[in-house]
Structure 1
Amino acid sequence: MLTAFARAFKTPDLRKKLLFTLGIIVVYRIGTNVPIPGVDYRNVQTCIDNAEANSGLFGLVNMFSGGALLQITIFALGIMPYITASIILQLLTVVIPRLEALKKEGQSGTAKITQYTRYLTVALAILQGTGLVATARSGALFQGCPVASQIVPDQSIFVTITMVITMTAGTALVMWLGELITDRGIGNGMSILMFISIAATFPSALWAIKEQGSLADGWIEFGTVMLVGFVMVGLVVFVEQAQRRIPVQYAKRMVGRRSYGGTSTYIPLKVNQAGVIPVIFAASLLYIPALIVQFSSSTAGWATWVEANLANPAATAHIVLYFLLIVFFAFFYVAISFNPEEVADNMKKYGGFIPGIRAGRPTAEYLSYVLNRITWPGSLYLGLISLVPTMALAGFGANQNFPFGGTSILIIVGVGLETVRQIESQLQQRNYEGFLR
C-alpha cells in the first residue's frame, strides 16, 4: 500500500490530482469552522460542550456536515441537500417518463439530469436553511442547554434572510467543490467530501468516549470501542466486496466477413446492492414524527409516546421499527435500481444468454429470483450493522453520534474502497509493464 502511494506521488499528473484534491479538502474544512453572521459563537460553543444538548435529533445531518451543523457555520448544511436531491431525482426517474427518457439519451441526458439536481439542491438548501435558522432561534437545536435561546440574539427579518442566503451559498459552494474534485481531482468528489465530513468527527468522538469512561481512566472503554470498530470495519469490507457473479455467454454472429461475439462475461450482483441509502431513508423517516412533536410542543398522550419511543434511539419500538424500515427500503431501492426485465431484454438483443436458462422472460425470472435471495442477507446485514453499536455499546455512553455507527462505517468503507480502486486504475494506466518485466 505504501509503495502504491509512493508511485502515485512520483507520477506528475496523478500527483497534481492528489494535491488538488487535498487543497479542496483543506478549503472545505476551513469553511466548516467559519460561523455565519448573526450567530453568537460563544453560546454555540457552550451548547456544544453540553453533552445532553449535543445528543439531539440532528445527529445524522451533523455527521454529514462534519460537525458544522451544530456550530452553525457557512457549510452547516454540508452535502446533505445534494444527497437528498440526488436520491429524489433517482426515484423520480422511475416514475416520470421524461426523466427516464433523458437517462437513456446517454451523456447529454445525464448532463440535463445533473442540472436538475443542482436546481433541486439549491431549493432544498433554502428550505433546510430556513428550518435550521428557525430551530436555532427557538432554542430547539440544543435540548437542555441553558443558553440555547440566545444563539441568535438579533431575530430580525434581515438577519434571518442573511443567514439563510449564507447557508444556501455555502451549500452551492460545497457542490461546486465536489464537482471540481470529480473533474480535476481523483474523481468521486461528492463522496470524498462526505468521507471527509464523517472522518473529521472521529477523533473528538473517540476522545469523548475515553473522557467519559470510568475504567482505568477510560482507556478500557476506549480500547473496547476501537476493537469493536475494527471488527465492524472488517465485516463491512467483507460484505461490501461480496457479490454473486452470474455467467453470461454471447453467441457468435457473422456481420459481413467479420465475426462478433463468442465471449463470456458475468453480471455482478452485490450482496448489498442498495448501499447506505436504506439506512438514510429509515433514519430520515423516523426523525419526522420526533421533529413534529418537538416543534408542536404538545403535551398530549401521543406526543409523549412518540418522544419516549420513536425519539429515543435506545427504545425497543425505535430499534424494531428502524430495523424493519431498513429491510423494507433495501428491497424497495433494489427493485427500482435494478430491472431484471431490462437486463434480460438487452442480453437477448445482443445475443447473450445465461447457460442453462432460456433467453427472454425465463432469464428475467431467474435474475429476479437470485436478486431476492441475495437481498435478504444484504438487508439483514444493513439492519444489524446499524443497530449493533447502539445496543452493544450503550453502557459506554454511546449515542446516535457514535463514530462507529452503521451509516458512518458504511460510507467510509465504501468511499475508501472506491477511491483506492480509482487510484489503482490510474496507476495501472500509467505504469503498465506487461507480462514480462
Structure 2
Amino acid sequence: MKKFFTTLRNIFSIEELRDRIFYTLGFLAVFRLGSFIVLPGVDPSKLTGESGGLLDFLNIFLGGAFNRASIFALGIMPYISASIVVQLMGMAVPYFQRLQKEGESGRKKINQITRVLTILITLAQGSGYLATTVPNEAIGIDQRLFYISSMVILTAGTVFCMWIGEKITEKGIGNGISMLIMIGIISGFPTAIYQEFTTRGGSLLLVVEIIALFFVVMGVVLLTTAVRKIPVQYARQVVGAGGKKKMLKTGQRSYIPLKVNAANVMPIIFAQSLMFLPSLIANIWADESNAAGWVAQNFSDFTSLAYNVTFGLLILLFTYFYTAITINPDQMADDLKRNNAFVPGVKPGEATSNFISVILDRITLPSALFLAIVAVLPAIAHLFGVSMTFSRFYGGTSLIIMVGVILDTLQQIESYLLMQHYEGMMKSGNIKGRQNVAMA
C-alpha cells in the first residue's frame, strides 16, 4: 500500500503527466454530462427505456445515453463503424493501400475520409434511431421540426464526441476514442453491483461472485497481454571503407512479438452483430412454422444453448478471418529479408513466411477458444443466478475493451514515470506483456 501511495505522489509530481490526467478527466466529465442531456422536445418520463437486441448492446457502450434519447445518443459508435469500414477498405481497395504507404500525408487523408464517412453513417443511424427508439407520445413538439432538429443535434453530438476523443489522444492520457467507450461501459458498474448487493443482501454468494469476477478479469488480462516471440537475427554488416581495414559488425538479435489475441475484440463484435439476424428473420414466419418459432425463441434468449453454441462458432470463424486479414506473413518475411534479417534456422523468403503462418495458426486456435469462452461467460453467470446487469461484466466485448484500454493507459503512465527516473508501477519497471505490442 505504501508503494501505491508513493507511485501516486510520483505521478502528480510530474507536471506534464498531471496536466494530461486532469485534461482527460475534464473531457470525460463533459462526455458523461452530455449523455444526460435529453434531445429538445422529448419528454423523458414517457421514454420506455427498453431497446433489446442490438440496441441494448449499443446502450451498454454508450453508458445509457441511447435509451435516454440524449444528445450523445449515438456517441462515438458511428466513428467506430467508419473506422472499421476504412480499415477493411485499406485491405481490399488499392487507393486506400496507396494512402497507407504515403506516410503522414496519407494518414491525414484517411482521417478526413473517416470523418466524412462518420457524418454519413450518423445521418443514416440517426434517422433509424429516432424512428425506432423515441416513441411518438414522448415527442412534445411538431414531429417534422423534431426530426430535423434532432438529426442536426445527433450529428453534432457525434462529431463533438469524435473531437473529444481526438483531443484526449493529443493532449490527455490514453487513446481518446477507446477511453470514451470504456467510460460508457464502466459507468454502469456501480449501479450493477449495487443492484446485486441489494438482491443478495450482502450474503456469501456476493463474495463468491466478486472472487469469480476477479479471476475472469485476470484471465482476460493474460489473453490481452500474451505474445509469442519469434527470434530474429540481423546479418553481420561490414563497416569501414576505402583502404581502411574492414571489420565485421556482429548482427543484433531481436524478436517479432505476435499477439496471441491478434484479432482483439473484433470477432465478438462481428459475431454479436450477426446473432440478431436469426431471430429477426424467424419472427417473420414464426406464426406459420414451428421451426421458425423455435429459432425466434432460442435466438432471442442469450442464455439458450443454441444461441451460445452458434455465437461461439461464429467467434472461432471470425477470429481466424480477422487474424488472416490483419497479419500478413508474406509481407513480414519480405520486410525481414529487406532489412537483412532472418529467423535462425529458417531460410529467408517463402520458408520464413510458412514458418510465421504455422506459428500464427497455433496461437490463433487457443486465442479463438478463449475468446469464445469469454463471450459466453455472461450467459453462464446469469444461469448461475447472477443478475443480467451484473453478469455482463463477466465477459464479452465490454470486459475485453475495459481491460485493453486500462492496460494501454497504465503503460503510458508507466512510460512517463520511467522517463523521470521514478520507479514504475510494477517491480520490474514495466507492465509485462505491453511493451512493443500495439493495441488493435
Q: TM-score, normalised by structure 1?
A: 0.88
Aligned-residue offset at 1:285: 1.4
Residue 281 in 1 paired to residue 270 in 2? yes
Query: In the aligned structure 1, how far is the partner of 2:415 from the partner of 2:297?
Result: 50
* Structure 2: runs of 5+ lacking an equivalent: 242-246, 424-440
Residue 197 in 1 paired to residue 190 in 2? no
Q: 1:134 to 1:263 in 2, by over 3 A?
A: same
Q: 1:3 to 1:267 in 2, by over 3 A?
A: same
Amino acid at match of 1:232: V
Query: In the aligned structure 2, how far is the partner of 1:19 from the partner of 1:398?
Result: 35
Query: In the aligned structure 2, how far is the partner of 1:320 from the partner of 1:74?
Result: 37
Query: In the aligned structure 2, how far is the partner of 1:25 from the partner of 1:358?
Result: 51
- Give the % identical residues: 39
Aligned-residue offset at 1:370: 0.2
Amino acid at match of 2:363: I
Give 1:24's aligned residue.
Answer: 27
C-alpha contact 2:174 2:408 (8 A) present in aligned 1: no
Give 1:247's aligned residue.
Answer: 231
Task: Let me know the Cα RMSD of the aligned residues.
Answer: 2.3
Give 1:330's aligned residue.
Answer: 319
- 1:315-394 map, 5 Å: 315-394=304-383
C-alpha contact 2:10 2:422 (8 A) present in aligned 1: no
Amino acid at match of 1:158: L
1:195-229 CA deviation, whole Å, 9 max, x = no partner?
11111111112222333x3x5x3644433332221
C-alpha contact 1:64 1:79 (8 A) present in aligned 2: no
1:416 to 394, 402, 406: 406
Residue 90 in 1 paired to residue 69 in 2? no
Aligned-residue offset at 1:42: 1.1
Amino acid at match of 2:220: V
Residue 113 in 1 paired to residue 98 in 2? no
Look up the SS of the partner of 2:238 in the other structure. Answer: strand
Give 1:163's aligned residue.
Answer: 150
Query: In the aligned structure 2, how far is the partner of 1:220 from the partner of 1:166?
Result: 48
Look up the SS of the partner of 2:66 in the other structure. Answer: helix
Q: 1:274 to 1:260 in 2, by over 3 A?
A: farther
2:161 to 164, 169, 174: 174
1:129 to 117, 126, 149: 126
Query: In the aligned structure 2, how far is the partner of 1:117 from the partner of 1:428?
Result: 35
Query: In the aligned structure 2, how far is the partner of 1:259 from the partner of 1:118?
Result: 51
Q: 1:19 to 1:358 in 2, by over 3 A?
A: same
2:417 to 415, 427, 435: 427
Q: 1:5 to 1:57 in 2, by over 3 A?
A: same
Give 1:144's aligned residue.
Answer: none
Query: In the aligned structure 2, how far is the partner of 1:115 from the partner of 1:219?
Result: 54
Give 2:193's aligned residue.
Answer: 206
C-alpha contact 2:53 2:276 (8 A) present in aligned 1: no
Q: 1:247 to 1:95 in 2, by over 3 A?
A: same
Look up the SS of the partner of 1:244 in the other structure. Answer: strand
Amino acid at match of 1:334: T
Query: In the aligned structure 2, how far is the partner of 1:210 from the partner of 1:415?
Result: 27
Look up the SS of the partner of 2:231 in the other structure. Answer: strand
Aligned-residue offset at 1:381: 0.4
2:222 to 238, 244, 251: 238
Query: In the aligned structure 2, how far is the partner of 1:153 from the partner of 1:222?
Result: 44
Aligned-residue offset at 1:390: 0.8
Q: 1:170 to 1:114 in 2, by over 3 A?
A: same
Query: In the aligned structure 2, how far is the partner of 1:303 from the partner of 1:130?
Result: 30
1:313 to 293, 296, 302: 302
Amino acid at match of 2:17: L
Q: 1:108 to 1:192 in 2, by over 3 A?
A: same
Look up the SS of the partner of 1:254 in the other structure. Answer: strand
Amino acid at match of 1:415: V
